[in-house]
Amino acid sequence: MNERFLSHREIINSLQYVLPNMIVDKPYSNLKTAVTFYQNDLKSYDDIIEAEYQLWQSKWKLVESRPSTAIEALHQCDQLMYPNMYELLKILSILSVSTPTPNTPT
């Protein structure tokens, strides 16, 4: 069972690096696993996504109060300026709701 969900855990862990409170001073390589997995859902090639990540990162470096959830970040993400970050935030928003944690009561 652990092996089955290990790759999903790695993707979700990688995907969290699109969040403004996680992105500052973190290299693009932290997000790369998620970008590779969701490549068909994204609108650009890897080098363009990396440049967009750096712009997204720069946007949040000077902000003290950064969104910590995907939904909060999605509301503050300009879809035209950051189309790939927007898509990744949408995916993370959906996963957050549909992915149970081990301590969740049933």
Query: Helix axis angle, 2-15 relative to 29-37, nearest 10°?
Result: 120
Q: Of the candidates 25, 22, 37, which has an alpha carbon nearest to the alpha carbon of residue 88?
A: 37
User: Each residue's pLDDT tens digit in the chain (106 positions)?
Assistant: 455 555 678 888 999 999 999 998 899 999 999 999 999 999 889 899 999 999 999 999 989 999 999 999 999 999 999 999 999 999 999 875 544 445 545 4
The answer to whether the predicted template modeling score (pTM) of the entire model surpasses 0.75 is yes
Q: Which two tokens stand for residue 37?
A: 């997995």
